[in-house]
Structure 1
Amino acid sequence: MTERRRRGAELERAILAAAADELTESGYEGLTMDRVAKRAGTNKNTLYRRWPNRAVLGVAAYRHLMTKAVDLPDTGELRADVLELLRGANRHWDSPEGAVLRGLMAGIGVPELLAQIQDAVSDAGSALWLTVLGRAVARGEARPEALHPRVATVPVALLRNEFLTSGRPNVPDAVLVEIVDEVYLPLVRAR
């Protein structure tokens, strides 16, 4: 019996899943087109037709890896929702997927690809933060003018800064509380 040949979206999903597995197991340093092709059951030419190099494939694989839905907190209070989102981001940065992201950011020196990683991280993230802030605006906990992507994502931007400046994959909870209580809530609260 011969194996059915995969094409199109099915083949692309198989390749991205293989690349995501390779990134998770071996990091960006260990990601090779050969290993991904072998794991996906295809050849390197098939990969190169879609992704010109391992950096582009690595970013696409990370996006594929991050397609899991994030549970959006809804405690009825902005402070608690923001803390839960920050704690989730903190856990993510310290997870295998976070290690993949850290490896990609360290290993890819191409500004355009780094921008794609940033887009992958912030596209979904902005929507989450805007939803949480929008609920707070509806409850009267935040002013409507604060409902802007840059304002909504201030907590996670500050958390990212902590990761980058401290070099640690996990930030103490006291820092998360400080970000929320000392910076974010005063920024968005109704006056």
Structure 2
Amino acid sequence: MIFLESPKTASRQERDSDQLVLSTAWKIVQDADYQAVTMDAVAISAKISKNALYHKWPDRAMLVTAAFAKYDQKAVSLRVPNGGHLERDFSQLFAALLPEINELSRPKFAGLVTERLEDVPVNQILSIGPGKDFQSVLMCILKRADKRHQIQLNQLSDNVLNLPALLLVNQIILGKHVTKKDLDQLITEILLPVYTASKIKWI
């Protein structure tokens, strides 16, 4: 799941201007918090017109997300796990996202995810780094599980396909520190029963 759109080719001056904007927004977050970021303040500090700022980043959630991806070491770049079993693949995927989840759960970032949800689907919230997006990784996992006859992929509704992202985003919104054990519990108590139920032929 990627927060950001693919960057277009830009001149060096544009890149320098973009970097100044992102570093300005990031400094405000670090000195205060996400709620302290305003587009007016960023435009003034970065010496850029508000029109140019809004053209590149339509709102502060997108702006701070871009800054997070550039400057925060907890931003995750996903790879497709290959544990040989649906439970292990889910566990590896969730473990990879754990640092990012806990970082975004900090009070400093309160409101960022909920504001971002106004513009993008829930399955585009996680994995801010430049790796594979969450949805494509999830679908690779599920296709492999389908080939192993652990699930029946064509029986899964969109609601079920969105469930992993929804559970993880909910952990961020709750604002509590999450452990790997917490995430593994979500897998064993919720995800596995729901996904493996797709093999049942309902009459």
TM-score computed with the length of structure 2 as normaliser: 0.64
Deviation at 1:143, TM superposition (A): 0.9
Deviation at 1:80, TM superposition (A): 0.8
- Which whole-Å CA distance do the structure 1 matches of 2:157 and 2:20 have between them? 36
Partner of 2:52: 49
CA RMSD of aligned residues (A): 3.7
Q: What amino acid maps onto 1:87 in structure 2?
A: A
Deviation at 1:27, TM superposition (A): 2.3
Contact preservation (8 Å) 1:16, 1:61: no
- Which whole-Å CA distance do the structure 1 matches of 2:195 and 2:170 have between them? 20
Residue 178 (1) aligns with residue 181 (2): no
- Which whole-Å CA distance do the structure 2 matches of 1:12 and 1:72 have between them? 34
- Which whole-Å CA distance do the structure 1 matches of 2:12 and 2:165 have between them? 43
Deviation at 1:187, TM superposition (A): 1.8
Q: What amino acid maps onto 1:79 in structure 2?
A: E
Q: Which structure shows the higher helix fraction?
A: 1
Structure 2: gaps spanning 5 or more residues: 1-10, 71-75, 128-132
Deviation at 1:62, TM superposition (A): 0.4
1:122–1:173 CA distance, 2 compared to 1 (3 A): closer
Residues 128-147 of structure 1: pairs in structure 2 closer than 5 A = 128-146=137-155
Residue 65 (1) aligns with residue 68 (2): yes
1:172–1:65 CA distance, 2 compared to 1 (3 A): closer
Partner of 1:126: 135
1:98–1:13 CA distance, 2 compared to 1 (3 A): farther
Residue 82 (1) aligns with residue 90 (2): yes
- Which whole-Å CA distance do the structure 1 matches of 2:110 and 2:121 have between them? 12
TM-score computed with the length of structure 1 as normaliser: 0.67
**Deviations 1:73-110, CA, capped at 9 Å, x for gaps:** 21121101101222333331212x5546534246x5xx
> Of residues 2, 14, 18 in structure 1, which corresponds to 2:19?
14
Contact preservation (8 Å) 1:78, 1:133: yes
Off by >6 Å, runs of 4+ in structure 1: none
Please give the secondary structure, in 1, of the residue aligned with 2:84: coil
Contact preservation (8 Å) 2:25, 2:67: yes
**Deviations 1:14-72, CA, capped at 9 Å, x for gaps:** 25532552365142123244653476xx4131x433318x9803323304634863133
Please give the secondary structure, in 2, of the residue aligned with 1:116: coil
1:66–1:118 CA distance, 2 compared to 1 (3 A): farther
Contact preservation (8 Å) 2:22, 2:67: yes
Contact preservation (8 Å) 1:17, 1:64: yes
Aligned residues: 175
1:102–1:133 CA distance, 2 compared to 1 (3 A): farther
Structure 1: gaps spanning 5 or more residues: none
Question: How many percent of aligned residue pairs carry the same amino acid?
Answer: 18
1:29–1:61 CA distance, 2 compared to 1 (3 A): closer
- Which whole-Å CA distance do the structure 2 matches of 1:182 and 1:72 have between them? 23
